[in-house]
A and B are shown apart, each in its own frame.
Chain A
Amino acid sequence: MNENMNITPMNSAQIRQQERFDRKGTAVAEKMLRQVRELSHMPETLEPFLKTLESIFSRREDALRPQGVPTVGTYCVMVPPELIYAQGAMPVKLCGGSYTAFGIGDDIAPRDACPLVKAVMGFEEIDAMPVYQNCSLMAVPVTCDCKKKLAGWLQERRPTAVLHVPANRDRDEDMERFVGELYRFSEQLEQMTGFSLTYGRLADACRMTADAQYQLSRFIDLRRKHSRIIRGSFSMAVMNALSYTWLPDWTKQLSDLNDELASLAKQKKTAAKENQPRILLTGSPVIFPNFKLPLLIESMGGLLAADETCMGERGFYDPPAIVDRTVDGMLRALSNRATRPCTCPTFADNLRRIYRIRQLIKDYRIQGVIYHVLRGCLVYDYEYRQLEEEMGKLGIPVIRVETDYNEEDVEQLRIRVEAFIELIKYGGKQE
């Protein structure tokens, strides 16, 4: 039951607007899901993940979870899911990827704002997405400018927890300041759920995420050892579904997928041909239903071998290294995890991202990098230059692809992606 529901009844114009949102939203989600399903070599055990995405975007249901558990909307990887699970709630990552919501948010946010924030504002305005509407609390880390203003805007409309993420994370004081933020957040969670933060609850929650990350590590390992075992679009679906799935369920689903992939690997079956260029996608997040780019890459004859985006693998990659088994020790580990290894460009110094990408290139034998920039996402754009230079040293081609949340530029993207794939094929750096 959502306490924040609008009490004023909707007039018929609003009802019609909602119906249009429903129709358009469903149409886009269905189209994307169909395109994903049409890709060859889809593992059977991928189906539960697609079903989750279908349930959230196509049928617009609320996130499936045990009875009585409230949801907390989160907006970046810096919000630790462990803390939220420990205090009896469920985190749902609400970064928006919806074209329809973007269209609505376009009127509210400035023209040059990033589409992610516009989509979130659209969700709030349209009042038709239960996974968004039913959140009892929104947790917004202040990372980039747009998130900062989003936090302020949301605060006026619903209970919001604002987390100050330090711009520098290497100094101990900065990292410890974030521990203070987590304690404050924990207080807000307690007010909402009634559960206080105890060692037992936090330890259980950390164990739950450790199990999930163990399966993710298996998944990554399988993809590293058998490079063409699964298409990148499917991996993206798996990671996107995590945002809306009750964690133990997701762990079980991923475990099944891993088992299937392991048996496929034994039979030496692959999802793509050897000569298909292996591409790394990095940059602004690719959020369902905005699966334009992964689908394009794979339909144009490339293989999306890995990604370095926060709604993809990065969203759940770093585990909290708990060295001190106390409440404070665990919160410190969570704060450490949220700041130090994080390759988000909203931090002032982000050299570690270059190293991370270099390691990914080694692990997956990447032949080309597509740098995805959402229009208005300046922070990622800033880092493009440096990455291009580094990739130049390694002899790996990079192209910058800028796009928005609409379907009109698919053809223009297509020709660029196609030319890029040909660039790799004819480029003489075959492997």
Chain B
Amino acid sequence: MKKNKILIAVLIALMLAVLAYFAADIPFYTYPETGVTASLQSETDTELTFSVAGNAVFSLGWFEAMMPFTIIVGLSLVCILLDVLLRKRLYRKNNVPCARTERMKFGRKQNLPRFGFEMIRWSIMILSFVLLIWGGKILGTALSSLQLPILACPYNEEQLTGAGCFLFSNLDMLAESSVDEILWFAGSFIVCAVLFGRLLCGFVCPLGFVQDVMHELRQKLHTEGIPLNEKLYAGLRFAKWIMLLIFLGIGLIGGSFCDFCPAITLSPALAGFKTSLYFSGFMMVVVLVSGFFKRRCFCNICPMGYLLGLPHKVSLARLKKNAVACTECGACYEACPMGIKSIYTVREGKNELSIDVTTADCIFCGECIRRCPEDGALFMTFAGKKIYTASRMKFMRDYTTPRRKKAAENE
């Protein structure tokens, strides 16, 4: 049985690698070659400085540029609908006696959003989404040398900053880059990874924002996702290794990750750049659909994220736990989009009241702390200062009757 599993895994890996290599030959949506579109074959590209301006938002050109993304969204919705309608027939029937997959029911009155970590994180995510896509238009390209190590897509000229993902995935180009570029690249990566680590994933990455939006959509519609357990995360971990291999290796064998990467479908299009999409279009559909059914599914396999997480032992953002206050309720594990179980299971440490449970996977979204019902059992620190602590009363307020409704009931 195990031999079979290994065989299947290797076959899938090979298939994906082949797809990645030939990604440029699998068109999703191509624009006619008119000289103003960006070509994506890395052999012919030597520089990224095109002198083509993105179309203004809501102009005709912009709608043309948005066409592929619109198709992607459409395809994703179709896939989601199909899955929800056929789920019972396809794969749920053996699972539980009566699986009541709620479909498309609209949400009930929730509590008013409170000011807190959650709100700050969403604000920063929205801000960085705007800046990373249209920032150049607003603030100029002063920061364009800074290569943020996230999937922010360099094909969008209007970005506020550069994107380190390009050079990572085309390591062969390092040989041809200037010393300046190499220093900026390495420097940005080291500074960002060491200082912030995967805080960037949780707060800045636009692809992360998109996935969070898909998740909230599912929550509002009360549609069931897929069951989360160790088996799923083990599978995702395996996919991550493949992605990493493809990410780092494909440039060296003549392919281009950009043909494979989902980020290219989003950022350039929104800024008005008509970018032809190859296999990446299908990847984006996968990201949207999987992100709908499982929170931040792509982040689990993102190679850039993995690289950011490597120096987690020294980065300034830390997740800590008070093992005595923890009741091992597992809510943190259930809430974690990255499936980190050690926050829940770890009990031993040098100082029981403040055990460091930061892992390479943690994107610092803060969900674990939000869902922790014990005062001070989990807390996040940045540069030694506590920035978010679990609190029972705050936890309860997420679930109790909203104040105004309560007041009405008491009349």
**A touching B, CB within 8 angstroms:** yes
Q: Which residues of A contact B (CB under 8 A)?
A: 170-173, 175-176, 179-180, 183-184, 186-187, 196-200, 203, 206-207, 210-211, 213-214, 217-218, 221, 318-319, 321-329, 332-333, 336-337, 340-341, 343, 351-352, 355-356, 358-359, 362
Q: A333 to B107, alpha carbons, bound, how many Å? A: 19
Any A CB within 8 A of the CB of B404: no
Inter-subunit contact A325/B222 (CB<8 Å) = yes
Q: Which of B224, B329, B372, B395 contacts A337 (CB 8 A)?
A: B329
B349 to chain A, nearest CB (A): 13
Q: A208 to B116, alpha carbons, bound, how many Å? A: 24
Which one of B35-43, B94-102, B130-138 is at the interface? B94-102
Q: A358 to B326, alpha carbons, bound, how many Å? A: 11
User: Inside 8 A of A184's CB, which chain B residues have their CB?
Assistant: 97
Q: A340 to B374, alpha carbons, bound, how many Å? A: 14
User: What are 18 of the A-B contact pairs (CB < 8 Å)?
Assistant: A172-B231, A173-B229, A184-B97, A196-B100, A207-B400, A210-B400, A214-B400, A217-B392, A321-B334, A321-B373, A324-B334, A327-B101, A332-B334, A341-B330, A352-B327, A352-B328, A355-B328, A359-B325
Inter-subunit contact A359/B100 (CB<8 Å) = no
Inter-subunit contact B327/A318 (CB<8 Å) = yes
Inter-subunit contact A180/B97 (CB<8 Å) = yes
Q: Which of B97, B331, B371 contacts A187 (CB 8 A)?
A: B97
User: Inside 8 A of B205's CB, which chain A residues have their CB?
Assistant: none
Interface centre among A199, A207, A328 (most CB of B within 10 A): A328
Inter-subunit contact B224/A327 (CB<8 Å) = yes
Q: Which of B329-366 contact A (CB under 8 A)?
A: 329-331, 334-335, 345, 347
Q: In the complex where A179-B96, A187-B97, A200-B108 touch, is A323 in contact with B326 (Cβ < 8 A)?
A: no
Any A CB within 8 A of the CB of B401: yes
User: Inside 8 A of B231's CB, which chain A residues have their CB?
Assistant: 172
Any A CB within 8 A of the CB of B367: yes
Q: Which of B108, B329, B335 contacts A203 (CB 8 A)?
A: B108
User: Inside 8 A of B100's CB, which chain A residues have their CB?
Assistant: 196-198, 327-328
Inter-subunit contact A210/B396 (CB<8 Å) = yes
Q: A217 to B334, alpha carbons, bound, how many Å? A: 22
| Further contacts, 17 of them, CB under 8 A, given A210-B400, A333-B334, A355-B327 | A170-B328, A173-B229, A179-B96, A183-B98, A187-B98, A198-B102, A206-B399, A210-B399, A217-B396, A319-B399, A323-B367, A323-B371, A324-B334, A326-B225, A340-B330, A355-B323, A359-B324
User: Inside 8 A of B329's CB, which chain A residues have their CB?
Assistant: 318, 321, 336-337, 340-341
Q: A359 to B353, alpha carbons, bound, how many Å? A: 11
Closest to A176 in B: B229
User: Inside 8 A of B96's CB, which chain A residues have their CB?
Assistant: 179-180, 183
Inter-subunit contact A341/B98 (CB<8 Å) = no
Q: Which of B73-117 contact A (CB under 8 A)?
A: 96-102, 105, 107-108
Closest to B326 in A: A355
Inter-subunit contact B225/A355 (CB<8 Å) = no
Inter-subunit contact A336/B97 (CB<8 Å) = no
User: Inside 8 A of A197's CB, which chain B residues have their CB?
Assistant: 98, 100
Any A CB within 8 A of the CB of B32: no
User: Inside 8 A of A352's CB, which chain B residues have their CB?
Assistant: 327-328
Q: A172 to B399, alpha carbons, bound, how many Å? A: 25
Q: In the complex where A207-B401, A332-B334 touch, is A326 in contact with B222 (Cβ < 8 A)?
A: yes
Q: A362 to B322, alpha carbons, bound, how many Å? A: 13
Any A CB within 8 A of the CB of B145: no
Any A CB within 8 A of the CB of B144: no
Task: Please give me the 9 A-B residue pairs with the lowest Cβ-Cβ distance, nearest first.
Answer: A321-B331, A210-B399, A341-B329, A172-B229, A341-B327, A340-B330, A323-B335, A214-B396, A326-B224
Closest to B410 in A: A252
User: Inside 8 A of B373's CB, which chain A residues have their CB?
Assistant: 318-319, 321
A374 to chain B, nearest CB (A): 24
Inter-subunit contact A325/B334 (CB<8 Å) = no
Any A CB within 8 A of the CB of B384: no
Q: A327 to B327, alpha carbons, bound, how many Å? A: 25
User: Inside 8 A of A356's CB, which chain B residues have their CB?
Assistant: 327
Inter-subunit contact B399/A323 (CB<8 Å) = no
User: Inside 8 A of B367's CB, which chain A residues have their CB?
Assistant: 323
Q: In the complex where A321-B373, A326-B102, A355-B323 touch, is A199 in contact with B222 (Cβ < 8 A)?
A: yes
Q: In the complex where A184-B97, A207-B399 touch, is A326 in contact with B328 (Cβ < 8 A)?
A: no
Inter-subunit contact A170/B345 (CB<8 Å) = yes
User: Inside 8 A of A359's CB, which chain B residues have their CB?
Assistant: 324-325
Inter-subunit contact B335/A199 (CB<8 Å) = no
Inter-subunit contact A325/B107 (CB<8 Å) = yes
Q: A322 to B225, alpha carbons, bound, how many Å? A: 14
Q: A210 to B373, alpha carbons, bound, how many Å? A: 12
Q: A337 to B330, alpha carbons, bound, how many Å? A: 8
Q: A318 to B393, alpha carbons, bound, how many Å? A: 13
Any A CB within 8 A of the CB of B25: no
